[in-house]
Chain A
C-alpha cells in the first residue's frame, strides 16, 4: 500500500467513526464562526453532508461565502490525546442539495444518524454538501499530511 492509500484509509476510518464535526464559516463582515454539526462523509471522500436550519448563523454565513472548513477528531478529553488523537480538517465549497441529490443524501444521513430523521426532513432544514478539495490529517501532535481529493 502506498503512502497516499494509507493516509486515505486513516481519513476514511476517522470520518466513519465520528458523528460530529466542527464547521467553520465566515460572515459577510469577515467574522469567523464555528459550530458543531452531525455529518456523513461520501465513501470516496469527495464530500461531507450536513444539515442546518435555514435560520442559523452558519446558514447565513454559507449563503454569503460558500467556502468552509470542517474539523473532525477522535480526541477523548484525556491527557494522551495530545499524541494519540487524530484530527482531519477538510477544506472545500458548500452547496445546498435539492431534488434527487437531496433525497439520496437524506437517506444516507438517516442511516448514520437515525435520531436526526425528523430534523433533517423538516421543511425549514437545508441539506448541504461540502465538496472537499483537500484534507489535512494531523497525528502524533504535529505531523500534518495533505490529501488532495481526486488526484
Chain B
C-alpha cells in the first residue's frame, strides 16, 4: 500500500472502491458526485487499517486469540473476553510512523477547529447482503487530533467486538479477511434530524420518515423517541403520523453527546412540506442507487444534509435478519441505569420479601388440597423469578462490561482486566456468608471438644454463643446440603455445613487473603482521567459497574432462596404421600409433584472412560485464564451438591460452574477449574476474591478429570495439566 492510499478525500473514491473505502464511504462518494449535500469527509482506507495491523503483527495475535478453542465451543462470555483483549491490542499498539505522519498531514488541519464524526465503513457491510447497521461503532462529536486518532482505533477494534464476531460467523464471513475503513466527517449540528426508509421494513407499499430534534444520535441510539410518518409509496401521501414526547434531544457535549431536556414540550419537528422534502430526497437517492434506501439526514436552517445512505436489507420479507439480537449485546449507560433502578429498587426487595413470606408459612396445618395449591403457587413464583432473572438480571451483567470497556478506552492499561480490581471492592452476599462460616470455624477451633461435639451431633454441648451463631446461619442459609440457599434438608450433624466447618476449623488461618490492590489509587486515576465536569458521570459509571458485578453473585442467592421455598413445599407433599393412604386429596398432591422434583437435579458430569474410550486421556486442556496463579493438587470433581461434602482443604475444585449456592467451598480450594467460560462469570469473580488460580471455559473438564487426579492449574495461561509432570 502506497502512502497516498492511506487516507483519501471523498472525491478520490470511485464507486467500485468498496474494498478500499467500505460500503458507506463509496455510497457517500457517489452522493457527493451526484450533487447531494453531504458533510466534509475524509476516508481512512482499509489500507491504513491493514498497515497498522501488519506493522504490529495483530493479525496473528487476533487469530491466536480466536483459535484457542473451536469458535462454536466458546460461550458468549468468552467471546466478549476475547473481544476485550483484541480491543486492548488496537488501543495500545503504536501507529507506524508513516501512518501517524499521514494522519497529521490529512486530518489535523481540516479538523483543527471542527468537531468530527468517526464512522465505521467495513467492506463486508455491503458484500454480506445483510445490514451491519449498528454492529460496528461510530462516534459523534470528537474534538482534537489526538481524540480523533483514538476513536479511529476504537472503530477499527469494533470489527472484532463480540457482536461483530458472532454476526460475521452467522453470515459465514471469515474473520481473517475482514478489514475496516473509517470515515472522518465534519459534525453537522442539525436543528432536527432523522431517518427515511424509501421502503418500510414493515410494509413494502409504504415509506417511513422519522425525526427527532437535535442530533440524529438520539434516534439511532434509541435515546429519544422519534415522531414518525408513514407515507404511501405510490402516491407519497401521508398515511399516518405518530407523535412523540418532544421534551428531549441529543446535543453535543464537550466530547461526545448528551441528552438535553427542553424543560417542556418542544415544537413539532417537521411541517408537511418538510416531510415531503425529506421523502423526495430519499426517493432521489433510491433512484441513484437503484434499490430501496435507508437514509440518515439532518436539517440546518432549512437545508437538508445527507449523513449516510445504505440499502434497506430488513423488510417484512426478510424476517431472518437476527442483527437485533447481536445489537442487544451492547447496552447504553442510560439503558443500564434504568435497569439498575428497576432491579435495586423493585425486583431485589420484592424477591427478599417474598422469600421471607414463604419461609414464614408453616405448611403442616395445610390440608392436602391446600398444600397442592401451595406447591403450584410456589412453583409458579419460582418460574416467575427465573423469568425475571433472564429478562433483567442477565442483561444487567452488561454494566460491568460497559465499565470495563470505558475504563480500558480511557486508561489503556496493559492488563485489559485491571478494571475488575475496581469492581471487586464491593460486598457480595456469598462472601458475607463465607465470612460467617470462617467465624463459626474459628469458634469451633477455639473451644476444646467443640469439633468432636459437632461431629457427633451433640449440639447441646456447644457453647451457647456458638450454638446460637450456628442456628442463625442455618436459618439464613440452610445446611448447604442441597445446593439451594436456605434449604435445611437432613440432619445437621450429617450436613455439608458441619463437614465444612470442621474442615475449615482444621486449617487455622489458611484462607487465602485477597491480594492487596490499591483500589483507591486505581479509582482516583480513573476519575482524574476525565475532565472535571465529566467526573460525576465517571463516578456513577463506576457505581453502575460495581452494582452490576455484585448482582451477578447476589441474584443467584436470592433466586436460590425462592427455589428453596418451592422445594420445601414439594418435599412436604412428597413426605405426606409416602406416609398417607391414597385418597382423592392425596391424588392432587401426586399431580403437583410432577411440577418440580424434591431434590435438585445434578448436572450431567463425571469422568467416565466409557464415554470417551479406555485408551484416551487428556494431558493438557485449554480454557481461558480467569485468575492468575499456579497451583497443584488433587482434583475434586463437584457434579452434585452431595459432592461438596467430601471437599478437602487444598483440593482443586473442578465443576461445571461455581454455582453461587456452593461458593462456600472456594476458601478451601487451591484452584478453580470450570467448564463454563468467562472472566466475569461468578466462579472467576470469587476465585479472584480469594486470590486463587482459575481457568474457565474448559469444555472437557468434567469429561476427563476425575476426583483424585493430580492436576496443575496455570491461571496465567489458561491451561490445566492432568497427571504428575513426570508421566
Residues of A within 8 A of B (CB): 2-5, 7, 79-80, 82-84, 136, 140-151
**Contact assessment for B615 and A147 in the assembled complex, using a CB-CB cutoff below 8 Å:** yes
A86 to chain B, nearest CB (A): 12
If the complex has contacts A2-B611, A3-B703, A80-B60, are A140 and B67 also in contact, measured as CB distance less than 8 A?
yes
Most chain B CB inside 10 Å of its own CB: which residue of A7, A79, A140, A142: A142
Number of B residues whose C-beta is below 8 Å from A?
23
Does any Cβ of A come within 8 Å of B614's Cβ?
yes
Which residues from chain B contact A7 at a C-beta distance below 8 Å? 616
| A interface, over-half SS | mixed
Q: Which residues of chain A are near B63, meaning CB under 8 Å?
A: 80, 83
- Whether the pair A141, B616 counts as a contact (CB closer than 8 A) is no
Measured between beta carbons, the chain A residues less than 8 angstroms from B69 are: 140
Given known contacts A141-B68, A142-B620, A144-B619, is B613 in contact with A4 (CB within 8 Å)? Answer: yes
B33 within 8 A of A: no
Chain A residues, CB < 8 A from B312: none
Of all chain A residues, which has the CB nearest B60? A79
CB-CB under 8 A from A84, the residues of chain B are 67
Selected contact of B68 from candidates A136, A140, A147, A151, CB within 8 Å: A140
**Chain B residues closer than 8 Å to A136, beta-carbon distance:** 619
Expressed in whole angstroms, the Cα–Cα distance for A83 and B70 within the complex equals: 11
Bound-complex Cα distance A149 to B615 (A): 7
State whether the Cβ of B64 lies closer than 8 Å to any Cβ in chain A: yes
Do residues B617 and A146 form an inter-chain contact, with CB atoms below 8 A? yes
**Interface check B493, CB cutoff 8 A:** no
Task: Tell me the minimal C-beta distance from A72 to chain B in angstroms.
Answer: 17
Cα distance A4–B619 when bound, in Å?
14
Q: Is the CB of A2 within 8 A of B622?
A: no
Query: Would you call B719 an interface residue if the criterion is a C-beta within 8 Å of the partner chain's C-beta atoms?
Result: yes
Q: B330 → chain A, closest Cβ, in Å?
A: 28
| 20 intermolecular pairs with C-beta atoms under 8 Å apart | A2-B611, A2-B613, A3-B612, A3-B700, A4-B613, A5-B613, A79-B59, A83-B64, A140-B69, A141-B68, A142-B620, A142-B622, A143-B620, A143-B622, A146-B617, A146-B618, A147-B615, A148-B614, A150-B615, A151-B615
In addition to A83-B64, A140-B67, A148-B617, 11 A-B residue pairs with Cβ atoms within 8 Å of each other are: A2-B611, A4-B616, A80-B60, A82-B60, A83-B63, A83-B68, A141-B64, A141-B622, A143-B620, A146-B618, A151-B613
Residues of chain B lying within 8 A (CB to CB) of residue A146: 616-619
- Complex contact B622–A145 (CB within 8 A): no
Whole-angstrom distance between the Cβ of B457 and the nearest chain A Cβ: 45
The verdict on B348 contacting chain A, using a C-beta distance below 8 Å, is no
Which residue among A2, A5, A136, A144 has the maximum number of chain B CB atoms within 10 Å of its CB? A144
Q: Is the CB of B64 within 8 A of A3?
A: no
Interchain nearest-CB distance for B254 vs A (Å): 43
| B717 CB–A CB distance under 8 Å | yes
A145-B616 contact in complex given A80-B60, A83-B63, A83-B67, C-beta closer than 8 Å: yes
Tell whether, in the assembled complex, residue A143 and residue B615 are in contact, meaning their CB atoms are under 8 Å apart: no
Chain A residues lying within 8 Å of B614, measured Cβ to Cβ, are 4, 148, 151
Residues of chain B in range 596-641 having any CB-CB distance to chain A below 8 Å: 611-622
Most buried by B among A83, A136, A147: A83
- Least CB distance from B225 to A in Å reads 47
**Among residues 706 to 727 in chain B, which have CB atoms less than 8 Å away from a CB atom of chain A?**
717, 719
Residues of B within 8 A of A2 (CB): 611-613
Q: Which of B64-81 contact A (CB under 8 A)?
A: 64, 67-69
* Nearest neighbor of B718 in chain A, beta-carbon distance: A142
Contacts of B719 in A (CB 8 A): 142
A144 proximity list for chain B (CB < 8 A): 618-620
Residue of A nearest to B59 (CB): A79
CA distance in complex: A3, B616 (Å): 8
Closest Cβ–Cβ distance, residue A66 to chain B (whole Å): 20
Chain B residues positioned under 8 Å from A143 (CB to CB): 620-622
Q: Which residues of A contact B64 (CB under 8 A)?
A: 82-83, 141
**With the chains together, A142 CA to B721 CA distance in Å?**
10
Shortest distance from the beta carbon of A140 to any chain B beta carbon, whole Å: 6
Name the residue among A2, A3, A82, A147 with the largest chain B CB count within 10 angstroms: A3
Chain A residues near B620 (CB-CB < 8 A): 142-144
Instruction: Please provide the 4 A-B residue pairs with the shortest distance between their CB atoms, ordered closest to farther.
Output: A4-B613, A151-B615, A144-B620, A3-B612
Question: Shortest CB–CB separation between residue A1 and chain B, in angstroms?
Answer: 10
In the complex, A7→B60 CA distance in Å? 26
For residue B667, give the distance in angstroms from its CB to the closest CB of chain A.
29
By beta carbon, the residue of chain B nearest A7 is B616
**A141 vs B60: C-alpha distance in the bound complex, in angstroms?**
13
**Which residues of A have CB within 8 Å of B622?**
140-143
Which residue of A has the minimal Cβ distance to B68?
A140
Q: Which residues of A contact B613 (CB under 8 A)?
A: 2-5, 151
In this complex, the member of B59, B69, B620 whose beta carbon has the largest number of chain A beta carbons within 10 angstroms is B620
| A4-B717 in contact given A79-B60, A145-B617 (Cβ < 8 Å) | no
Once bound together, how far apart are the Cα atoms of A150 and B615, in whole Å?
Answer: 7
Which among B69, B618, B703 has the highest number of chain A CB atoms within 10 Å?
B618
Establish whether residues B68 and A145, one from each chain, have CB atoms under 8 Å apart when the complex forms.
no
Q: What CA separation (Å) do A146 and B59 show in the bound complex?
A: 31
Q: In B49-67, which residues have CB < 8 Å from any A CB? A: 59-60, 63-64, 67
In chain B, what residue has the closest Cβ to A82? B64
Contact B60–A148 (Cβ < 8 Å) = no
The docked-state distance in angstroms from the alpha carbon of A7 to that of B64 is 22
Evaluate contact between B621 and A147: CB separation under 8 angstroms. no
**A27 shortest CB reach to chain B, Å:** 21
- Residues from chain A with a CB closer than 8 A to the CB of B611 are 2-3
CA distance A4 to B614 in the complex (A): 8
A31 CB to nearest B CB, Å: 20
CB distance from A22 to the nearest CB of B (A): 19
* B680-711 interface bits toward A, Cβ cutoff 8 Å, 1 = contact, 0 = none: 00000000000000000000100100000000
Among residues of A, the one whose C-beta sits closest to the C-beta of B611 is A2
Nearest-Cβ distance from residue A41 to partner chain B, whole angstroms: 16
Neighbouring A residues of B717 by C-beta, 8 Å: 142
Residue from B59, B69, B612 having most chain A Cβ neighbours under 10 A: B612
Q: How far is the CA of A118 from the CA of B615 in the complex (A)?
A: 38
How close is B724's CB to chain A, nearest CB, in angstroms? 13
Chain B residues whose C-beta falls within 8 Å of the C-beta of A140 in the assembled complex: 67-69, 622
CB distance from A129 to the nearest CB of B (A): 20
CB of B702 to closest CB in A, whole Å: 13
The CA of A2 and the CA of B616, in the complex, are separated in Å by 10
